């Protein structure tokens, strides 16, 4: 038997499929079809947690996403899920769950001692105290508050599950598969439109799963079954159960979280994605998201056993669970009478229906009286009793204004209180879509008003609470949505027959007085059960002037829990309205934000984890580098060899060896990663003239030129060598990390500022592989590989391009140099990259050709005073600051030119590029070290101290094999005027001195590039 | 102002908390003030407070179009730090941090400053250089700064993934121990209460619809609650700085973008510092309520709608799980956006304007919250003296004409 409170018959549970589970270490049994909440209730467990602040016993209140109390930790180890709602956890065999709020257990909880302090712990108490002494906040108070706060525990290990993502397009997306949603989906699908129907529950039916309604004279679930079957049979329909539409973004873009494996527990097939994120672009959306029942706010309304009236029906009808043995129904509307009937039908004793209305006269009230149910009209619950569970309630007469109770109290023994304060349409998604709401006085709820996107609410989500109305609205909305998406003529199919009870009006009752003096009433009237917010807290906020609805939320934390106030928000803002004497319509709601219910980080990240977090780009020669022991660095998305250590070598030794090879023999660099942009069109040269600081119009065919580009602010943006391939065609190279940014930059100018220019840019970075053959013996290596190519200085001058076969591969060979040495950069189509590299290495073997990485490349170029954008520049450096006046045209215009004419660009104390020679030639200055003009009197410490004026910083710093000493590049204020001066780099505990020199350290005459 | 303390809390408990006064009055706006501050967020309220406290000027109104603190003050991720690279930025943010350190006591309102330390992770050799440069500059600027190796990062924040084989492995980090977080709403409320106590009028639901200028001088504002005269008008309306400036005919070099933030469901303490990363772009801390508070970069498109694009959230979650693989089963509970005003150099404008008596404080981009006390303090000085304080003189409007930019784009370790 799966629990002493399981009803003998009925329910959508499988009595032949018992499931074992544990809660707080104790074993229980439930049935297939149960949620954790229904299984606990079947075992008589109402008390499932303690409240956050006061540690009051708390029980299951709701039956779905609106549950505020029953927050549990499900599963263990890496699979543990914090903060699951027991009402949404589908039971599986072997499920393990724990409460998250009480220790050692929910029955005896040490934290309950906090309730002694409850008179102090009112809304915002922490703003008023814990201020002195200052450091106690961080050391004492805050850690204590942090330990009290929080619900479950984050897993201690990485999530082993995988998550998938899908894109989808729909003509009509219907959200919610209750009566309105099913009707809408049917009406739309029958037109042939592509329909998606998403519902958060395991099966379609919505509220009908929990009610005993009839459609066409038969149980409503038969209609649900037929509708679901018809939808499943239509090829253009995507039915999505267990799928929560959680976000409604601009342009009818909606996000859906589909649960695929949670309900299977450890039995899920391996490899099955736990969840799937659907990103849907829908032509039309029908929101049939239903409504949430509101609790009534009365004294001690938080005792376990106090539940929403609709939740009681759900447990009775859907799960065949008796949530109690003797019940009281407390309501201000006719809907809750259904709970009374269902309780009576299930054989549960009904103490009374307590109805706040003085003269309830609806059809169901009459039926209750006919059935002999005691109806205490014009009355209210003024209190509850019981330790871990409600044992009795107190009933008194409510005065006509609803502000006081009168007469003697009557005590009703009971272990279940079913409460209904009316219904609030689930307007969350409608509001997220920027639709507006209005307060409907007659129905006492916020309903959708004006839509802002292609969306239509239907059914209870629209404030239509009768089944007949839901079906009719759903059919009409579905047909209309399909027509607007281009399908059908908009005619709604005929609605099935449903009998509608004649209900009387609701009596809005936002606060139920308990008979205590008004000033002391409300401290145990709970509005937000999860955040432990009472009516008194709301009033305190209003009294203190925090009287906008957003202030109340932020001051009291009402509506900020994991349920985001689904049961609390409307009551809270109604209480606020009362406190400040303002109509509810004028108070408004807080903003509804995504997600509707919490969404896993893992699902949002999807497969973009680890290696796939960001694409890894490697060159065609990558495998060779790996095989030869290269150490890599990340440059943008690229993996580049940093150096190639040999056995026993550290980085310094390897880099020195690689540098020596380039300077003294021959070395090779994989330069494939440099950005390459093919620029074509009749106006290509004119375009380059505008984007580069130097002139391009007269560059000859096959000529290369170094170019520099600036931002509009005149600061260096990027640099590289660009070559004229044809009169109307250039090949631009960019720095590795900036390639995409430069292409974007060029396109932005072409598309937004100069659309008249006939220029087309194409990224060809991935299409070419590049091998730089560098060093005085470079000709001896390349010569045999390219027998048809003249390599001498006359036949192949510096800064020119030749097309030739290299190692039998058609190639572009550029005679350019980033090291100052004789150098050929051989470009071949990418798929020949490895073949070329291996051919070069073979051809170079007799000469000891040495592969070198980016670190040696940096050293070699720094010895020559060549800058690296992003290292010698940081967005505040002009070409003039770098001493590159020669590259800035005075005759033509270019991007950034006007900024270079601003006064600040010619300020004498601008930082300028200089060289540094450390006083100690064996000491390499740390890159990033700041420079000061005079040796500081004291060493710098870790703590905050008095500022010392800085004059610059070290941008690049290395030990040079060629120079036999350390050297550095730096940006120094007025640096060129300080050549010869000594500057100091204060480090923690010591200060290094260095002499300012010209920034070219090696081969100042530039002879070596000719070999 | 009735002082708050544990004793006053206990005393009020005896009277069932019926005796607490309003935090601030809710006066009808008068017909004229000496100074009208447009914008009732942290910056505007701090400005009003320091005008009263430091300069003795109380004939001041703060006009807020909605509810106090409803703009970026109540929408940010509450990170506070002063470890900026450039001298000018470091000076103003450090001034702010020192004010933060005494703020709860000064305002008699607990803003819950929690100096739990801010880590800026480095993932590439470029990050290492920039991190080292910033640490050295911070120290010489008198700001606490440390460099941590990956092992030290792990020791300081054990749940950060420092695996060598990560896509972008952690190679080190800068640490500012005095950095941390504060309770953002409390900053607005605390300043409002303290300013109100000194006589400042705080007027909510009062939207400025026009700025009156006569003979090159400002004379007042038009509002949804009528015209209000003023000798000086000070704009502190992040997200709409350029809209307000345009009312006075001033065109600002500002672009407005949504910046999103989100929180997870609350869990027990698991992260006791602030972790920021630029290369793996996300920043994460855990609030006192137990929520993970996260943000990343701005949405690319210009907008005044306080909501962002979903793909930005997806991307920052991927980044979050790179740094914190154990957060895979944590769940996002709420997401939102504010509008940030971004200048071309990613630095703010705290400045006089070409119109006499009109002052602008804006363009803080993503750095607004942490600067709040310092920003209000220097803005109050600028308004009271009609000249900038040396701390904000570099952030004057004319820098866009002279070129004396303070470019934090390339220099700041993280873009906010």
The CATH number for B318's domain is: 3.30.9.10
B267 shares its domain with B321: yes
Q: Which chain A positions have a beta carbon within 8 Å of B187's beta carbon?
A: none
Does the CB of B304 have a partner CB in chain A at under 8 Å?
no
Cα distance between residue B30 and residue A490, in whole Å: 57
> Which tokens in the block code for residue A514?
């308990």
What is the phi/psi pair of residue A831, to 5°? -70, -10
Report the relative pairing of strands A392-398 and A379-385 from DSSP bridges. Answer: antiparallel
Q: What is the CATH number of the domain that holds A102?
A: 3.10.20.440
Where does a domain end: B316, B342, B368? Answer: B342
Per the domain annotation, does B109 fall within a domain?
no
**Which residues does A193 contact at the CB level (< 8 Å), separation at least 6?**
A171, A172, A236, A481, A482, A485, A486, A487, A488
End-to-end CA distance of chain B: 36
B173 shares its domain with B277: yes
Per the domain annotation, does A901 fall within a domain?
no
Tell which phi-psi region holds residue A372, choosing left (phi > 0), alpha (psi between -120 and 50) or beta.
left
**Which residues does B59 contact at the CB level (< 8 Å), separation at least 6?**
B33, B34, B35, B199
Q: Which chain A residue's Cα is nearest to B130?
A: A928
The shortest CB-CB distance from A601 to any of B91, B132, B327 is to B327
B56 shares its domain with B124: no
Q: Which chain B positions have a beta carbon within 8 Å of A602's beta carbon?
A: 321, 328-329
Does the CB of A945 have a partner CB in chain B at under 8 Å?
yes
A vs B, Cβ pairs < 8 A, gives 344
Count how many Cα atoms sit within 13 Å of the Cα of residue A121 in the half-sphere of its side chain. 18
Cα distance between residue B367 and residue B372, in whole Å: 9
The shortest CB-CB distance from B318 to any of A608, A932, A988 is to A608
Tell me the residue range of the domain where B407 lies.
25-76+185-253+345-411
A287 shares its domain with A436: yes
**Which residues does A135 contact at the CB level (< 8 Å), separation at least 6?**
none
Q: Which chain B positions have a beta carbon within 8 Å of A605's beta carbon?
A: 314, 317-318, 320-321, 328
Question: Chain A 160-189, CB below 8 Å of chain B: which residues?
Answer: 161
Contact A635, A736 (CB under 8 A): yes
Does the CB of B185 have a partner CB in chain A at under 8 Å?
yes
Local confidence band at A883 (pLDDT 50, 70, 90 cut-offs): very high
> Which tokens in the block code for residue A579?
């406190």
Report the relative pairing of strands A667-670 and A768-774 from DSSP bridges. Answer: antiparallel
Interface test with B, best of A151, A160, A591, A604 (most B CBs within 10 A): A604
Local confidence band at B413 (pLDDT 50, 70, 90 cut-offs): very low
Contact A163, A577 (CB under 8 A): no
Q: Which chain A positions have a beta carbon within 8 Å of B13's beta carbon?
A: 119-120, 122
Strand partners, A74: A81, A97
Q: 3-class secondary structure for A191-210?
A: CCCCEEEECCCCCCCHHHHH
Tell me the residue range of the domain where A238 lies.
162-291+424-484
Q: Which chain A positions have a beta carbon within 8 Å of B108's beta carbon?
A: 131
Of the candidates B357, B358, B349, the residue with the CA atom closest to the CA atom of residue B397: B349
pLDDT of A135 higher than 90: no
Residue A22, H or E segment: strand A14-23
Count how many Cα atoms sit within 13 Å of the Cα of residue A600 in the half-sphere of its side chain. 31
- Give the pLDDT score at A621: 98
Residues in chain A: 1011
- Give the pLDDT score at A608: 96
Contact B232, B38 (CB under 8 A): no
pLDDT of A32 higher than 80: yes
Q: At what angle do helices A549-556 and A569-580 cross, to 10 degrees?
A: 120
Cross-chain residue pair A122–B13, CB shorter than 8 Å: yes
Local confidence band at B412 (pLDDT 50, 70, 90 cut-offs): very low
pLDDT of B414 higher than 50: no
Q: Which chain A positions have a beta carbon within 8 Å of B144's beta carbon?
A: 942-944
The shortest CB-CB distance from A119 to any of B8, B13, B137 is to B13
Convert the pLDDT of each residue in A805-819 to its tens digit.
999 999 999 999 999
**Torsion angle (degrees, nearest 10) of CA B74, B75, B79, B84:** -110
Q: 3-class secondary structure for A239-291?
A: EECCEEEEEEECCCEEEEEEECCHHHHHHCCCCCCCEEEEEEEEEEEEECCCE
**Torsion angle (degrees, nearest 10) of CA B259, B264, B268, B272:** -20
> Which tokens in the block code for residue A78?
């890496």
The shortest CB-CB distance from B266 to any of A122, A149, A253 is to A149
Cα distance between residue A840 and residue A778, in whole Å: 10
Per the domain annotation, does B2 fall within a domain?
no
- Give the pLDDT score at B5: 92
A748 shares its domain with A712: yes
Of the candidates A280, A200, A562, the residue with the CA atom closest to the CA atom of residue B332: A562
Contact A603, A164 (CB under 8 A): no
Where does a domain end: B287, B319, B342? Answer: B342
Does the CB of A943 have a partner CB in chain B at under 8 Å?
yes
A236 shares its domain with A335: no
Cα distance between residue B359 and residue B373, in whole Å: 17
A339 shares its domain with A229: no
Cα distance between residue A309 and residue A312, in whole Å: 5
Q: Which chain A positions have a beta carbon within 8 Å of B172's beta carbon?
A: none
- Give the pLDDT score at B410: 60
For residue A621, count other CB atoms closer than 10 A to its CB: 25
Contact A619, A632 (CB under 8 A): no
Q: Note the Cα A949 to chain centre separation in Å.
A: 42
Where does a domain end: A421, A437, A453? Answer: A421
B189 shares its domain with B241: yes
pLDDT of A944 higher than 70: no
**Could you give the C-alpha distances from A776 to A770, A824, A1004, B83, in angstroms and in order?**
19, 11, 17, 47
- Give the pLDDT score at A243: 98
A210 shares its domain with A346: no
A553 shares its domain with A683: no
Count how many Cα atoms sit within 13 Å of the Cα of residue A728 in the half-sphere of its side chain. 8
Per the domain annotation, does A590 fall within a domain?
no
B229 shares its domain with B162: no
Residues of chain A above pLDDT 90, percent: 91
B59 shares its domain with B124: no
Q: Which chain A residue's Cα is nearest to B288?
A: A146
Per the domain annotation, does A924 fall within a domain?
yes
**How many domains, in total, are found in chain B?**
2
Cross-chain residue pair A120–B13, CB shorter than 8 Å: yes
pLDDT of A937 higher than 90: no
**How many domains, in total, are found in chain A?**
7
Q: What is the CATH number of the domain that holds B209?
A: 3.50.50.60
DSSP string, A729-788: EEEEEE-GGGHHHHHHHHHHIIIII-TTS--EEEE-GGGEEEEEEESTTHHHHHHHH-TT
Does the CB of B6 have a partner CB in chain A at under 8 Å?
yes
Cross-chain residue pair A134–B105, CB shorter than 8 Å: yes
Per the domain annotation, does A88 fall within a domain?
yes
Cα distance between residue A736 and residue A172, in whole Å: 46
B171 shares its domain with B264: yes
In the block, which residue shows the tokens 């409007």? B397
Cα distance between residue A126 and residue A716, in whole Å: 51
**Could you give the C-alpha distances from A70 to A64, A281, A297, A417, A579, in angstroms and in order?**
10, 34, 19, 17, 30
Of the candidates B367, B81, B76, B73, the residue with the CA atom closest to the CA atom of residue B192: B73
Q: What is the CATH number of the domain that holds A813?
A: 3.30.1360.120
**Torsion angle (degrees, nearest 10) of CA B178, B183, B189, B194:** -20
ipTM value of the model? 0.96
The shortest CB-CB distance from B143 to any of A545, A609, A944 is to A944
Does the CB of A136 have a partner CB in chain B at under 8 Å?
no
- Give the pLDDT score at B369: 97
The shortest CB-CB distance from A874 to any of B91, B317, B410 is to B410
Interface test with A, best of B285, B329, B345 (most A CBs within 10 A): B329
A178 shares its domain with A215: yes
Convert the pLDDT of each residue in A149-197 to its tens digit.
999 999 999 999 999 999 999 999 999 999 999 999 999 999 999 999 9
> Which tokens in the block code for residue A760?
């087309």
Per the domain annotation, does A830 fall within a domain?
yes
pLDDT of A940 higher than 80: no
Per the domain annotation, does B146 fall within a domain?
yes
B266 shares its domain with B380: no
The shortest CB-CB distance from B326 to any of A132, A158, A550 is to A158
Convert the pLDDT of each residue in B45-70 to its tens digit.
999 999 999 999 999 999 999 999 99
B266 shares its domain with B167: yes
Mean of all residue pLDDT scores within chain A: 96
Q: Which chain A residue's Cα is nearest to B266?
A: A150
B270 shares its domain with B167: yes
A371 shares its domain with A448: no
Local confidence band at B288 (pLDDT 50, 70, 90 cut-offs): very high
A798 shares its domain with A649: yes
Does the CB of B68 have a partner CB in chain A at under 8 Å?
yes
Per the domain annotation, does B51 fall within a domain?
yes
Of the candidates B48, B46, B60, the residue with the CA atom closest to the CA atom of residue B99: B46
A543 shares its domain with A402: no
Q: At what angle do helices B184-197 and B42-55 cross, to 10 degrees?
A: 30
Does the CB of B70 have a partner CB in chain A at under 8 Å?
yes
Per the domain annotation, does A147 fall within a domain?
yes
B193 shares its domain with B338: no
Question: Chain A 831-890, CB below 8 Å of chain B: which residues?
Answer: 870-871, 873-876
State the smallest CA–CA distance between residue B380 and chain A in angstroms. Answer: 24
Convert the pLDDT of each residue in A238-282 to its tens digit.
999 999 999 999 999 999 999 999 999 888 898 899 999 999 999
Does the CB of A633 have a partner CB in chain B at under 8 Å?
yes
Per the domain annotation, does B13 fall within a domain?
no
Give CA angle at A148 (A142, A154), nearest 5°: 100
Convert the pLDDT of each residue in B129-144 to its tens digit.
999 999 999 999 999 9
The shortest CB-CB distance from A519 to any of B18, B332, B345 is to B18
Per the domain annotation, does B158 fall within a domain?
yes
Per the domain annotation, does B190 fall within a domain?
yes
State the smallest CA–CA distance between residue B219 and chain A in angstroms. Answer: 31
Q: Which chain B residue's Cα is nearest to A279?
A: B310
pLDDT of A532 higher than 90: yes
Convert the pLDDT of each residue in B361-372 to its tens digit.
999 999 999 999
Where does a domain end: A421, A449, A470? Answer: A421
State the smallest CA–CA distance between residue A49 and chain B in angstroms. Answer: 15
Contact A882, A911 (CB under 8 A): no
What is the phi/psi pair of residue B193, to 5°? -65, -45
- Give the pLDDT score at B416: 33
> Which tokens in the block code for residue B320?
């979050």
In the block, which residue shows the tokens 């606990």? A40
Cross-chain residue pair B328–A602, CB shorter than 8 Å: yes
Cross-chain residue pair B403–A595, CB shorter than 8 Å: no
Q: What is the CATH number of the domain that holds A960?
A: 2.40.30.110
Where does a domain end: A827, A861, A895? Answer: A861
Q: What is the CATH number of the domain that holds A478?
A: 3.50.50.60
Interface test with B, best of A82, A576, A944 (most B CBs within 10 A): A944
Contact A209, A318 (CB under 8 A): yes
Cross-chain residue pair A987–B280, CB shorter than 8 Å: no
Cα distance between residue A870 and residue A738, in whole Å: 9
> Which tokens in the block code for residue B222?
């038009």
Contact B68, B189 (CB under 8 A): yes
Give CA angle at B138 (B135, B143), nearest 5°: 125
Interface test with A, best of B7, B17, B71, B100 (most A CBs within 10 A): B17
A834 shares its domain with A742: no
Contact A932, A983 (CB under 8 A): yes
- Give the pLDDT score at A942: 65
Per the domain annotation, does A610 fall within a domain?
no
Q: Which chain A residue's Cα is nearest to B190?
A: A127
Global confidence as pTM: 0.96
The shortest CB-CB distance from B410 to any of A138, A611, A875 is to A875
Per the domain annotation, does A937 fall within a domain?
yes
Per the domain annotation, does B416 fall within a domain?
no
What average pLDDT score do residues B160-171 get? 96
State the smallest CA–CA distance between residue A929 and chain B in angstroms. Answer: 6
Where does a domain end: B307, B327, B342? Answer: B342
Question: Chain A 228-257, CB below 8 Å of chain B: which residues?
Answer: 247, 249-250, 253, 255
- Give the pLDDT score at A1: 52
Does the CB of A741 have a partner CB in chain B at under 8 Å?
no
Across B18-127, the runs of DSSP E, i.e. the strands, are: 32-38, 60-63, 79-80, 118-122
B155 shares its domain with B244: no
What average pLDDT score do residues A466-491 get? 98
Q: Which chain B positions have a beta carbon within 8 Å of A151's beta carbon?
A: 265-268, 290
Does the CB of B334 have a partner CB in chain A at under 8 Å?
yes
Convert the pLDDT of each residue in B328-372 to its tens digit.
999 999 999 999 999 999 999 999 999 999 999 999 999 999 999
For residue A122, count other CB atoms closer than 10 A to its CB: 23
A468 shares its domain with A528: no
Interface test with B, best of A102, A142, A150, A940 (most B CBs within 10 A): A150
Tell which phi-psi region holds residue B49, choosing left (phi > 0), alpha (psi between -120 and 50) or beta.
alpha
């Amino acid at each position: 038997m799966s629990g002493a409170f399981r009803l003998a018959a009925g329910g959508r549970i499988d009595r032949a499929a018992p499931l074992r589970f544990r809660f707080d270490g104790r074993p229980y049994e439930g049935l297939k079809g149960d949620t954790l909440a229904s299984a606990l209730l079947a075992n008589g467990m109402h008390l499932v947690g303690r409240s956050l602040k006061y540690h009051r016993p708390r029980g299951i209140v709701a039956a779905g996403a609106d549950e505020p109390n029953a927050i549990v930790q499900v599963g263990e180890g890496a699979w543990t899920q914090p903060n699951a709602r027991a009402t949404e956890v589908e039971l599986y065999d072997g499920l393990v769950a724990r409460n998250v709020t009480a220790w050692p257990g929910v029955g005896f909880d040490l934290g309950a001692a906090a309730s002694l302090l409850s008179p102090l712990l009112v809304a915002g108490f922490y703003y008023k105290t814990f201020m002195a002494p200052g450091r106690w906040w961080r050391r004492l108070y805050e850690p204590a508050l942090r330990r009290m706060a929080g619900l479950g525990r984050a897993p201690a290990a990485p999530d082993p599950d995988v998550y998938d993502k899908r894109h989808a397009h729909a003509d009509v997306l219907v959200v919610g598969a209750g009566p309105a949603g099913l009707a809408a989906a049917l009406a739309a699908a029958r037109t042939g439109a592509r329909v998606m129907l998403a519902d958060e529950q395991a099966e379609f039916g919505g509220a009908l799963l929990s009610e005993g309604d009839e459609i066409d004279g038969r149980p409503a679930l038969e209609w649900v079954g037929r509708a679901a079957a018809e939808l499943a049979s239509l090829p253009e329909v995507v039915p999505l159960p267990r799928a929560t539409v959680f976000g409604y973004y601009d342009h009818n873009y909606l996000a859906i979280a589909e649960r695929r494996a949670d309900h299977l527990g450890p039995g899920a097939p391996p490899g099955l994605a736990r969840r799937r994120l659907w990103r849907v672009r829908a032509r039309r959306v029908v929101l049939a998201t239903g409504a949430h029942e509101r609790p009534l706010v009365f004294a001690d309304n938080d005792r376990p056993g106090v539940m929403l009236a609709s939740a009681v029906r759900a447990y009775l009808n859907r799960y065949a669970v008796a949530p109690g043995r003797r019940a009281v129904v407390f309501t201000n509307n006719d809907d809750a009478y259904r709970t009374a009937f269902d309780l009576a039908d299930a054989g549960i004793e009904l103490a009374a229906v307590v109805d706040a209305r003085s003269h309830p006269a609806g059809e169901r009230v009459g039926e209750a009286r006919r059935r002999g149910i005691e109806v205490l009209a014009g009355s209210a619950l003024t209190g509850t009793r019981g330790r871990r569970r409600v044992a009795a309630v107190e009933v008194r007469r409510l005065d006509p204004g609803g502000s006081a109770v009168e007469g003697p109290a009557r005590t009703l023994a009971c272990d279940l209180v079913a409460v209904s304060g009316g219904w609030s349409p689930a307007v969350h998604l409608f509001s997220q879509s920027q639709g507006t709401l209005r307060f409907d006085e007659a129905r006492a709820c916020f309903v959708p008003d004006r839509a802002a996107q292609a969306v239509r609410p239907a059914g209870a989500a629209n404030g239509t609470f009768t089944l007949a109305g839901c079906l009719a609205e759903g059919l009409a909305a579905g047909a209309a949505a399909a027509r607007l998406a281009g399908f059908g003529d908009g005619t709604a199919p005929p609605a099935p027959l449903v009998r509608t009870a004649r209900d009387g009006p609701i009596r809005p009752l936002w606060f139920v007085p308990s008979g205590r003096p008004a000033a002391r009433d409300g401290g145990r009237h709970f509005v937000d059960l999860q955040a432990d917010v009472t009516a008194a807290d709301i009033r305190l906020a209003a009294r203190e002037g925090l009287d906008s609805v957003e202030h109340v939320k932020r001051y009291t934390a009402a509506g900020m829990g994991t349920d985001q106030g689904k049961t609390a928000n409307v009551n809270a803002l109604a209480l606020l309205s009362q406190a400040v004497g303002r109509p509810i319509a004028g108070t408004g709601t807080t903003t509804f934000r995504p997600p509707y219910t919490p969404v896993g980080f893992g699902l949002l990240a999807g497969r973009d984890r680890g290696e796939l977090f960001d694409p890894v780009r490697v060159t065609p020669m990558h495998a060779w580098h790996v095989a030869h022991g290269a150490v890599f660095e990340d440059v943008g998305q690229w993996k580049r060899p940093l150096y190639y250590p040999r056995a026993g070598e550290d980085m310094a030794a390897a880099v020195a060896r690689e540098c020596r090879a380039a300077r003294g023999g021959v070395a090779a660099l994989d330069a494939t990663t440099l950005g390459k942009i093919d620029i074509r069109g009749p106006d290509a040269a004119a375009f380059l003239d505008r984007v580069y600081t130097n002139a391009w119009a007269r560059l000859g065919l096959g000529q290369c030129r170094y170019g520099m580009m600036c931002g509009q602010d005149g600061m260096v943006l990027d640099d590289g060598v660009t070559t004229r391939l044809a009169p109307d065609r250039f090949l631009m190279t960019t720095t590795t990390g900036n390639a995409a940014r430069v292409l974007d930059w060029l396109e932005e100018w072409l598309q937004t500022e100069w659309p008249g220019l006939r220029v087309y840019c194409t990224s060809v970075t991935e299409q070419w592989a590049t091998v730089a053959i560098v060093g005085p013996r470079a000709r001896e290596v390349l010569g045999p590989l390219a027998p048809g190519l003249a390599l001498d200085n006359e036949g192949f001058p510096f800064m020119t391009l030749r097309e030739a076969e290299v190692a039998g591969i058609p190639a572009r060979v550029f005679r350019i140099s980033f090291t100052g040495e004789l150098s050929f950069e051989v470009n071949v189509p990418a798929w020949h990259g490895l073949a070329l590299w291996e051919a070069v290495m073979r051809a170079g073997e007799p000469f000891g050709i040495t592969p070198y990485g980016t670190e040696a490349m940096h050293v070699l170029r720094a010895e020559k005073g060549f800058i690296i954008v992003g290292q010698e520049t940081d967005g505040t450096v002009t070409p003039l600051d770098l001493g590159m006046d020669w590259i800035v045209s005075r005759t033509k215009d270019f991007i950034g030119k006007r900024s270079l004419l601003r006064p600040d660009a010619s300020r004498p104390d601008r930082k300028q590029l200089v060289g540094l020679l450390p006083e100690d030639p064996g000491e390499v200055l740390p890159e990033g070290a700041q420079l000061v003009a005079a040796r500081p009197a004291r060493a710098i410490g870790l703590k905050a101290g008095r500022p010392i004026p800085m004059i610059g910083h070290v941008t690049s710093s290395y030990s040079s094999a060629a120079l036999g000493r350390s050297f550095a590049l730096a940006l120094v204020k007025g640096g060129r005027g300080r050549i010869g001066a000594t500057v100091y780099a204060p480090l923690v505990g010591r200060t290094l001195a260095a002499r300012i020199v010209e920034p070219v350290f090696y081969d100042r005459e530039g002879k070596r590039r000719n070999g | 102002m009735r002082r708050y303390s544990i004793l006053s809390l206990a005393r009020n408990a005896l009277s069932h908390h019926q005796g607490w006064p309003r935090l601030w009055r809710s006066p009808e706006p008068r017909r004229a003030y000496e100074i009208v501050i447009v914008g009732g967020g942290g910056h505007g309220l701090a400005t009003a407070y320091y005008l009263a406290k430091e300069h003795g000027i109380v004939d001041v109104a703060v006009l807020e179009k909605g509810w106090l603190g409803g703009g970026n003050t109540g929408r940010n991720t509450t990170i506070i730090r002063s470890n900026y690279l450039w001298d000018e930025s470091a000076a103003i943010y450090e001034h702010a941090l020192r004010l933060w350190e005494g703020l709860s006591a000064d305002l008699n309102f607990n803003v819950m400053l929690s100096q739990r330390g801010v880590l800026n992770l480095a993932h590439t050799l470029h990050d290492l250089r920039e991190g080292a440069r910033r640490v050295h500059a911070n120290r010489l600027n008198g700001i606490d700064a440390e460099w941590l190796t990956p092992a030290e990062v792990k020791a300081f924040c054990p749940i950060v993934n420092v695996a060598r084989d990560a896509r972008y492995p952690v190679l080190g980090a800068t640490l500012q121990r005095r950095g941390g977080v504060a309770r953002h709403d409390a900053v607005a409320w605390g300043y409002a209460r303290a300013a109100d106590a000194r006589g400042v009028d705080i007027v909510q639901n009062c939207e400025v619809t026009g700025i009156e200028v006569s003979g090159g001088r400002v004379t007042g504002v038009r509002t949804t609650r009528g015209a209000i005269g003023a000798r000086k008008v000070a704009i502190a309306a992040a997200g709409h700085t350029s809209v307000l400036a345009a009312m006075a005919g001033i065109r600002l070099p500002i672009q407005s973008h949504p910046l999103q933030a989100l929180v997870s469901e609350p869990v027990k303490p698991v992260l006791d510092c602030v972790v920021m990363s630029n290369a793996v772009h996300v920043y994460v801390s855990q609030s006192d309520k137990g929520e993970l508070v996260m943000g990343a970069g701005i949405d690319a498109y210009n907008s005044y709608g306080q909501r962002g694009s979903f793909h930005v959230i997806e991307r920052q979650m991927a980044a979050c799980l790179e740094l914190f693989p154990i957060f895979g089963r944590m769940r996002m509970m709420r997401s939102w956006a504010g509008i940030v005003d971004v200048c071309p150099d990613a630095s703010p404008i705290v400045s006089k304007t070409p119109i006499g008596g009109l002052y602008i404080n804006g363009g803080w981009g993503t750095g607004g919250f942490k600067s709040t006390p310092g920003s209000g303090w220097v803005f109050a000085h600028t308004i009271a003296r009609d000249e900038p304080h040396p701390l904000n003189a570099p952030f004057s409007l004319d820098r866009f004409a002279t070129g004396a930019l303070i470019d934090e784009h390339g220099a700041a370790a993280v873009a906010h």
